[in-house]
Amino acid sequence: DAGVIQSPRHEVTEMGQEVTLRCKPISGHDYLFWYRQTMMRGLELLIYFNNNVPIDDSGMPEDRFSAKMPNASFSTLKIQPSEPRDSAVYFCASRKKQVGELFFGEGSRLTVL
């Protein structure tokens, strides 16, 4: 089975631009998580979905961030407008059961100039 697939792997954009990060979870996994990793704050949970429904978005930094999961095989994390402080590596992860290990994608490295 393919693992969690994220795109793009790298994105460089200018402040104010819209950024869309994409994730395809492992087939059959009911849970999908978005994390952000920075040197200062480590791995932060942004939002997670269960069966395509957002369950907890309390980690989303502000209204500029939004996430959707229109179907079981696709999720997006959107930042609009982007700011330099959004520069980070964004990870998507999925899980089959309510409790269990997360399977991570390789991440999307975002640089906002």
Partner 1 sequence: AQSVTQPDIHITVSEGASLELRCNYSYGATPYLFWYVQSPGQGLQLLLKYFSGDTLVQGIKGFEAEFKRSQSSFNLRKPSVHWSDAAEYFCAVGARNNDMRFGAGTRLTVKP
Please give the residue ranges that form the binding site for partner 1 (CB under 8 A): 4, 31, 33, 35, 42-43, 45, 48, 50, 55-56, 91, 93, 98-107
* DSSP at 71: E
The CB-of-44 to partner 1 minimum distance in angstroms stands at: 9
Of 9 and 85, the one with the shorter C-beta distance to partner 1 is 9
- Give the nearer residue to partner 1 in terms of CB position, either 14 or 28: 28
CA nearest to 56, candidates 80, 27, 35 = 35
CA distance 87 to 24: 22
Indicate the residue among 45 and 72 with the shorter CB distance to partner 1: 45
The secondary structure of the chain in percent helix, strand, coil, rounded to multiples of 5, reads: 5, 55, 40
Closest approach, Cβ 73 to partner 1, in A, equals 19
Q: Which two tokens stand for residue 72?
A: 């079981």
Kindly tell me which of 16 and 100 has the beta carbon lying closer to partner 1: 100
Least Å distance, CB 52 to partner 1, is 15
Distance CA 44, CA 90 (A): 9
Q: What is the Cα–Cα distance from 1 to 4, expressed in whole angstroms?
A: 10
User: Shortest gap between Cβ of 99 and partner 1 (angstroms)?
Assistant: 5
